[in-house]
Amino acid sequence: MTTITTPAVDADRYALSAGNSGIWIVCLECSGDDQIVGVLSDHRVRHTDIQTLMAEHDADRHRPAEPRCIVCAAEPVWNGPPITAPISAPTPIEGLCISCAFWVTTVKNRLALGRLLDRTATGAPVARIDGRLYTMEPAPLRGTVAMRGHGGNTFTIRYFTGKAVTGSNLWDCGEIPARWRPLLPDNAIFGREPEPQ
């Protein structure tokens, strides 16, 4: 016995109409020429043929919408792949867009126990200044070709805890969205370079 699997179709979307030229398959949600899915000339047509035509029309005209982020509902869910570069993308988190996955990871790193300063997963210091997020990545090794943040200019960051970090590879990760600011309050200010002695 042979089993035939028929494609899944939203049957409420279609109507069948018999006429002199055969069976017409009509999509009730489309208009104009798109409304006619197909005409089957033989009245003894198989059910699977009708299902196949409807499934093809569904795939062409009625694709399901991309799932939206469960936090912001503005962006589609992001499933990767992880991107590695001077600015890397976060690991995908089920149900979140790339932006919300980034901010959730940032909050997680901030709340990790046992840290005196906020740090990224790679250990780079994190500063939140005037509602923007910055990371001070280590300087590239001598002899390597690598980009530096802010063109390699030197910055000093003074944390509210009294600690200070100076470096020449500061990356601006962007403005912290309003929904994340209560969990990511400012923790530093830009300081001046120490005066030479």
Q: Evaluate whether residue 70 is within a structural domain.
A: no
For residue range 49-60, list pLDDT tens digits in order: 778 888 888 877
Q: Evaluate whether residue 87 is within a structural domain.
A: no
Q: Evaluate whether residue 111 is within a structural domain.
A: no
Q: Evaluate whether residue 96 is within a structural domain.
A: no
Q: Evaluate whether residue 109 is within a structural domain.
A: no
| Alpha-carbon 5 to chain mean position | 35
CA gap 49, 143 in Å, rounded: 66
Q: Evaluate whether residue 172 is within a structural domain.
A: yes
Q: Which domain holds residue 20?
A: 12-61
Q: Evaluate whether residue 144 is within a structural domain.
A: yes
Q: Evaluate whether residue 197 is within a structural domain.
A: no
CA gap 16, 47 in Å, rounded: 12
For residue range 142-159, list pLDDT tens digits in order: 777 677 788 788 999 999
Q: Per-residue pLDDT for 14 more than 80? A: yes
pTM for the structure as a whole: 0.61
Q: What is the tally of structural domains in the chain?
A: 2
Eight-state DSSP code of residue 149: G
> Which of 41, 61, 81 is where one domain is finished?
61
Residue 102 in contact with residue 90, Cβ under 8 Å? yes
